[in-house]
Amino acid sequence: MQSSRVFPFSCGLLFGVAAAVGACGGGGSKGMGGMGGMGGLRGLGGGIGTGATGNAPGVVCGDAPPWTTDGTPAVTLTVNAASPGAAWSRFYEGAVATDHANTILSSAYGRNAAAALKKGHDEAGFRYARFHGILNNDIGVYPATAPAMATDTPAYNWTRFDQVYDAVVAAGMRPIVEIGFTPPALASVPTQIQAQLWYGGVSPNISKPILPPTAGAMPTFDHWQKFMADIVLHLESRYGAEEVRNNWYFEVWNEATWMYGPGAAGYNELYYNTALGLMQGDPLVKIGGPADSGGNSPNAIPSLIDFAKSHPEIKLDFISYHRYGQDSPMNVIANAGDFISFKNSLFSTIAAHGFTGELINDEWGSSYNPELSRDTEVSASFIAKSIHFLGTDTTTRTPTMYGYWTMSDIYEEMNTGSARAYREGNYGLLLKGDADIPASYDLAKPAFNAFRLLHMMTDMVVPVTGGIASANDNGVGAVATLSSDGSSIQILIHNHVNAYDLATWEAAAKTPTLVSLSVNDLPFVPKRILHYVVDHAHSNSHTAWVDMNKPLQPSADQWATLRDASELCYYATPGGGSNSWTVMFPQNTYSASLIELRRE
C-alpha cells in the first residue's frame, strides 16, 4: 500500500507559504509525499507562519500546509459566529471501555491498561471507565466456598478489587460498576462457562447466581443479594458514601443474550435481585441496565422499563444499551446513518414507555467485529460524523454519555497474539506497545486522534451552512462551536462515506474533496489559527506501520517512527486584521479535521 497522496493543485504560494517544520505528525515514513505547499488564506493580515507554540496540543505536521487558491470548491461551508445557539454536549467523553477488569492490573501481553486510561482522560477527556468481569476469578473478591448461611459474611478478598477502582480514580476517572460475572462459589451451573470470553485463559461462569440460603432449602438469590449489598458498603467505606451514591453507576450485567446462562428471558429476574441487593447497601446508588446488544435492545429495554414499573420496590435510574456502526441488517461497517437512526428510534420507544432517566450507550464504534476499519482513519471520520449529528440532533433526547469500545489493544476478550503494534483488527484506541520498549506504550490510532479533535470543541454551537444535511448523506460535513468567553471558535470537518470496503477503502482515503470555508462575524480578531488533520497521511500510525511492512514486533527505531506518526498534527498561521476569515483546502474521504481560530 502507498501512503503518500498527491493533490491536483498548483504549488503557487500566494503569500509565500513556508513548509511547516517540527516533529513529524504525518502518517507515512520520513520523506513520504504529502500535501504540497499551497497558498490561499484570505482575510489574514500577514504571512503564514511555520509552526505553533504555546498550549496547542499535538505537533506541527511535517509537510507544507494544504491551503490553496486554485480550483473550484466542491463544498462551500459558511460559519456564522454571530449567532451562537444551544450548548455543545460532551456526552461522547462520558465513558470509555477497558475490556475486563483484570487488564487494568495485568494482562497476557506484559502490560496493563492503567496508563491507557490516564491518557484517555488527560488527552480525550473521558470521564468514566467501564469494564466486564469485576467479580471474576482473576479479581477473586468472592471466596472459593460460599457460607452455608446467606446471612453470614463471606471471607472476601478485596485486594485486587480495590486495586482496580484505585487505578480508575488515579486516572482521574470514575467507574461504571458493571456487575458480572458469576463467582464460581455462587454458580448454579459450575460448568456454564462462556469460553468466547478468553480473558487470559480464565473464562467466566455466566450461570444464574443462586444457592440454597440454608441447608436443605431451595436455591435463591439470597447469597447474591448479600454480596451486592456488601459491594456497595465496601465501596462507600473506601471512596465515600456521597461520592459513590451521587457519581458512580451500577450496571447490571452485560449483553445477557449471550453472556448470561438463562439468556435475555432471565434478565429481568437477575436485574430484580441485583437491584434489591444493591439497594440494601444504599437505596440511593444509581442502578440501571440492561446493557444489551443493538439487536436485542429494542426488546430488552421496553421489557425492563415495564418490569421496573410493576415492581416499585426496585429502581431503574438509567438505561444502557450498545450499538455499533455495523449493527444494521445490511451489516455495513462504519454506517453512521444507521447508527444515528437506531438511536433516534430507540429513544422514541423509551419515551413512549414513559422513562425519563439517564440514557447511556456504553459500547460503540465503527463495527462490533475486530476488523481493519477499527485501526484506520475510517474510524476517525466515523467518530467525527457520528458525534456531529448525535450532538446536534433535536428530535430526541441528548444521551447522558457514550462509551467507546475500547480504550486499548491491551484487550483479552480474545487472544490477540504476539502483535505488539497493529494486528489489523483490534478494538482499542491505543496500541498495546512492547513491554520492553517504554517509548512504544499507548500510541494513538487515528480514532483516538478523532477524540482529541472533539476534546477541543468548546461551549456553544454556531450555525454552519453547506455540506451534508444528515448522517445518511455521504461527503463533507461540519459543525462549529464558540467558547463561552468568545475567545475561540472551532470548526470540526469530516468527510465520511457510510460504508467500508476492504478492497477500495484505501483508494478512497487518498481522494480529496476541495472545500471552501468562511468564518464570519467573529467576536474577536484572530491572532492564531490552527488546522488539525487526521487522514491517511497525517496523525496516522497505521499508515506508517504499513509503510514499514507491518512488523508484528517493531524495533525500537520503528517504534520511534510510529510514535512520531501517532501524534495529532496541525498547521499554524497567525491571523490578524479582520474578524472574518476564508480558506480553501482539500479534505480527503475518511478524514477528520479541526480548524481553530483564537483571539490569543
Listed residue (323, 267, 270) closest to 295, CA to CA: 323
Position 41 scores a pLDDT of 38
Listed residue (577, 306, 559, 294) closest to 441, CA to CA: 559
CATH 3.20.20.80 domain locations along the chain? 91-451
Q: How far apart are CA 269 and CA 252, in angstroms?
A: 11
**Which homologous superfamily does the CATH classification assign to the domain defined by 91-451?**
Glycosidases (3.20.20.80)
Q: Tell me the residue type at 394.
A: T
Does the pLDDT value for residue 39 go beyond 90? no
Does the pLDDT value for residue 187 go beyond 80? yes
pLDDT tens-digit series, residues 466-521: 999 999 999 999 999 999 999 999 999 999 999 999 999 999 999 999 999 999 99
Beta carbons within 10 angstroms of residue 542's beta carbon: 27
Position 70 scores a pLDDT of 96
CATH 2.60.40.1500 domain locations along the chain? 59-88+458-598
Enter the pTM of the model: 0.91
Does the pLDDT value for residue 379 go beyond 50? yes
CA angle 231, 233, 234 (to 5 degrees): 65
Position 50 scores a pLDDT of 30
Percent of all residues in the chain with a pLDDT value above 70, rounded to a whole number = 91
Position 238 scores a pLDDT of 98
Q: Tell me the residue type at 3.
A: S
Q: Which three cell numbers stand for residue 366?
A: 465503527
- When pLDDT is cut at 50, 70 and 90, the band that residue 33 belongs to is very low
Average pLDDT across the chain, whole number: 91
Q: Are 332 and 368 in contact (CB under 8 A)?
A: no
Position 35 scores a pLDDT of 34
pLDDT tens-digit series, residues 338-358: 999 999 999 999 999 999 999
Q: How far apart are CA 323 and CA 15, in angstroms?
A: 47
Q: Are 370 and 502 in contact (CB under 8 A)?
A: no
Q: Which residue has the cell 474533496?
A: 513
Q: How far apart are CA 508 and CA 525, in angstroms?
A: 37
Q: How far apart are CA 391 and CA 457, in angstroms?
A: 12
Q: How far apart are CA 305 and CA 290, in angstroms?
A: 10
**Average pLDDT estimate for 419-434:** 96
pLDDT tens-digit series, residues 430-480: 999 999 999 999 999 999 999 999 999 999 999 999 999 999 999 999 999
Q: Which CATH number fits domain 59-88+458-598: 3.40.50.300, 3.40.50.1220, 3.40.50.1110, 2.60.40.1500?
A: 2.60.40.1500
Exposed / middle / buried, residue 282 (Cβ in 10 Å: 0-12, 13-18, 19+) = middle
